[in-house]
Amino acid sequence: MGVSVFITATDTDAGKTFVTASLARAFAETDIKTCTLKPVCCGCASGQMNPDIKTLLLAQGMEDAQKDAINLYDFKAFAAPAQAAEEEDRLVEPEKLVEWCAARTVGTDIALIEGVGGLMVPLTEDFLVSDWLETMPDCAVVLVVRARLGGINHALLTLKHLQLMGRDPAWVVFNDADGLGHAMLARHAVAIAPFLSACTQQLFLPHIPKADYAPSQLLISFVDDIQMRMKHLNKC
């Protein structure tokens, strides 16, 4: 029995794709059968592939022609999926999305599923990213927090919503995407720690300029923790 991990964040550009790609590369160094998906994405320059899709393809050693294996909905507009889809006279179909993800993860040990934006982003007029997560009750949650001014507020709001859903994150990743330094990471960790459950693991990603993924050694504990979860599930 495999393990699914849903990567969400406090906001757009918080570092979901960076973290997801880093994990994909880290698992590629093991014998764990992993698939990494970006089912819904928005925003790309004219004639170009969405950069998040491109990054995740590269992280898995896949070619551009294999895009459909990791992505279902790809909209051009830099907008929420519901709005971007409307601009193209298209719709995100929740049932199709859920079934597509389930089909892609069959036979894998680890499925990394990257969300789009934050939890409250509308995929349709009445179906949010959080509703999508609700359809995957056994999926562990990674919350990526961009450590910057305003980041603590965004993190606590997101944590509150996850807790109301009964979905405490298994991991919170504090990401110094802006290069503000260790002090900013520490301030976020101190402020957020009282609101985390005992089972939530905190991870820290320092600023890594001119790199498209984190060195795998930074994610060893992450990989080990997921492997432990796999062993536990396989005993049940």
Helix (H) or strand (E) holding 43: none
Q: How far apart are CA 156 and CA 19, in angstroms?
A: 20
53 close to 87: Cβ distance less than 8 angstroms: no
**CA-closest candidate to residue 226, choices 112, 69, 71, 55:** 112
DSSP 68: G
96 noted as active-site residue: no
- State whether the Cα torsion 70-121-7-14 is positive or negative: positive
Catalytic residue selected from 16, 33, 38, 76: 38
Long-range contacts, stretch 161-168, CB < 8 angstroms, 24+ apart: 161/119, 161/120, 161/130, 162/119, 163/197, 165/130, 165/133, 165/134, 167/133, 167/141, 168/141, 168/196, 168/197, 168/199, 168/200
φ/ψ of 17, rounded to 5, equals -65, -40
Please give the positions annotated as active site: 38
